[in-house]
Amino acid sequence: MKHHTLKKAVIPVAGLGTRFLPATKSIPKEMLPIVDAPIIFYVIEEAVKAGIEDIIFITGRHKYPLEDFFDTSYELEDKLLKENKTELLQKIRSIKDMANIVSIRQKEAKGLGHAVYSAKPAVGNEPFAVLLGDEISVPAADGTTAMGKLKSAFEELGESVVGVIAVPKTEVSKYGIVSLTGELKKLRGGAVQKVNGVVEKPETSVAPSCFALPGRYTFTSEIFNILENQSAGVKGEIQLSDAMATLANRDLLWVMDLAGTRRYDAGDKLGFLKANIELGLEHPEIGEELRLYLKTLRL
Ligand code: UTP
């Protein structure tokens, strides 16, 4: 099953981050810190832990700090070396060795589907993963990660498998929502279910289920053929969910429930604060002090 091996991940980071203005006027939202590392670090760490080797950033103007973060930082490394801060130096140096990074510019933010399609020259006919650059997924208690689960399912099945999470009925209108056929397949790393439709941000009354797409996907290169001929959808953008709906119509799309993993929409103010508080509480250096501080707040 060698041809099913997933080595590449596309990380779209070309969005304008309007939900986080004015912070994102000159700083990419993916560079905002969660405790002491930028959002994008957590996303790449998840991909690399799952066995992804090549990262393809889909970037836009003002996004160069993302590339710099994964590059050598001569002055900083020199200073840490002179000050004998070996541990920190190792930490900083290891970031650039995490993965091979390629950047492709999406010249206009024409939607997530368009961003994914822009990766075609770097991906070719290979299968690939997509991780949204502003979504953080924390591993489950047993150490399994969202991308690890999806990659394993994809490699066993050889068909596109995307992650879903169950959301409250009142929140379906914030997400892409899938409709399921009821067909279930048990794989080594868990079960997958066949999809027969995808709707972008439906009203509660018409939502086909409560299973939402939180930004972790694996695709065969078939998705490029679909995106190439697809017209603009909601908001006049080329939507990835429309391309997934076409895959589902062709009987080629599965979902895996990512229950157990924890996700934060860190591109949203509240999601960002929740991630900082919860990951801060788990941080070995500041966790205990933060817990004590939070207790002093009379909420
Ligand atoms: P979002 O809708 O969350 O990103 O897209 P956004 O447009 O930056 O944010 P808001 O809504 O204005 O605050 C999900 C992901 O897709 C990328 C974004 O960078 C984000 O990681 N994206 C979106 C692109 O790369 N290109 C696009 O044209 C649209």
CATH number at residue 265: 3.90.550.10
Asked whether residue 288 is domain-assigned, the answer is: yes
38 assigned to some structural domain: yes
Mutation test residue for ligand 1: of 39, 66, 134, 136, the one with most atoms within 8 Å of CB = 134
Q: Which of 10, 11, 16 to mutate to test the pocket of ligand 1 (most atoms within 8 A of CB)?
A: 16
Buried b or exposed e, range 180-209, using 16+ CB within 10 angstroms: beeeeeebebbebbbbbbbbbebeeeebbb
Q: Is the CB of 113 within 6 Å of ligand 1?
A: no
* Angle made by CA atoms 56, 1, 256, in degrees to the nearest 5: 65
CA of 142 to the centre of ligand 1 (A): 31
Q: For position 2, what pLDDT does the model report?
A: 45
Q: How far is the CA of 57 from the centre of ligand 1 (A)?
A: 13
Dist. CA 111 → ligand 1 center (Å): 7
* Per-residue confidence in pLDDT tens, the chain, 299 aa: 445 899 999 999 998 889 999 999 989 999 999 999 999 999 999 999 999 999 999 999 888 899 999 888 899 999 999 999 999 999 888 898 888 999 999 988 899 999 999 999 999 999 999 999 999 999 999 999 999 999 999 999 999 999 999 999 999 999 999 999 989 999 998 999 999 999 989 999 999 999 999 999 999 999 999 999 998 888 889 999 999 999 999 999 999 999 999 999 999 999 999 999 999 999 999 999 999 999 999 77
pTM metric for this prediction: 0.94
Nearest ligand 1 atom to alpha carbon 58:
25
* Domain contains 46: yes
Which pLDDT score is estimated for 109? 86
Task: Determine whether the shortest distance from the Cβ of 215 to ligand 1 is under 6 A.
Answer: no
| Distance between CA atoms of residues 59 and 103, nearest Å | 7
For residue 167, give the 3-state DSSP assignment. Answer: coil
Euclidean distance between CA atoms 88 and 263, whole angstroms:
28
167 located within any domain:
yes
Measured from the Cα of 133, ligand 1's closest atom is 21
Domain of residue 148, residue span: 8-296
Pocket test for ligand 1, best of 118, 132, 136 (most atoms within 8 A of CB): 132
Query: Does residue 1 form part of some domain?
Result: no
* 226 within domain boundaries: yes
Residue 191: per-residue pLDDT: 95
Q: Is residue 41 part of a domain?
A: yes
* CA gap 39, 279 in Å, rounded: 12
Domain assignment present for 155 = yes
Scanning the structure block, which residue is given the tokens 């080594």? 188
Overall domain count for the chain? 1
Ligand 1 centroid from CA 224, angstroms? 19
Distance 261 CA to ligand 1 centre (A): 22
> What is the predicted pLDDT for the residue at 1?
42
What residues contact residue 31 under an 8 Å CB cut-off, 6+ apart? 38, 39, 40, 65, 66, 69
CA 99 – ligand 1 centroid, Å: 23
